[in-house]
């Protein structure tokens, strides 16, 4: 087997197309610097609205959003953007 769809050419193409659009992070709304090292917490990652673990399609552009690596990690396998928690109730 050639591996999962997330390391194939179609997946890399989807990531490149979404990154080129320059959309802000879908969770926090801040801009994403496309030149950051991929391991940086504020670097670009592709988030799946419907997580792959819950049956989401890895190659469907309608299931893909731009997100910071940190925001994507905090969201985990939950469905939707999951609002940020603040330190206080305002």
pLDDT one-digit tens code per residue, 17-70: 999 999 999 999 999 999 999 999 999 999 999 998 899 899 999 999 999 999
- Look up residue 4 and give its DSSP letter: -
pLDDT of residue 1: 36
- Torsional class of 36: left (φ above 0), alpha (ψ -120 to 50), beta (otherwise): beta
Listed by start position, the domains of the chain span 5-75
pLDDT one-digit tens code per residue, 72-89: 999 888 886 566 666 666
pLDDT of residue 89: 60
């Amino acid at each position: 087997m050639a591996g999962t769809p997330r390391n194939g050419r179609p997946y890399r193409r989807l990531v490149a197309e979404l990154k080129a659009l320059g959309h802000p992070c879908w969770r926090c709304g801040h801009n994403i610097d496309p030149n950051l090292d991929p391991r940086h917490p504020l670097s670009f990652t592709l988030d799946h609205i419907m997580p792959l673990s819950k049956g989401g399609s890895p190659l469907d552009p309608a299931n893909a959003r731009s997100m910071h690596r940190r925001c994507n990690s905090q969201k985990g396998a939950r469905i939707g953007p999951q609002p940020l928690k603040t330190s206080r109730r305002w």
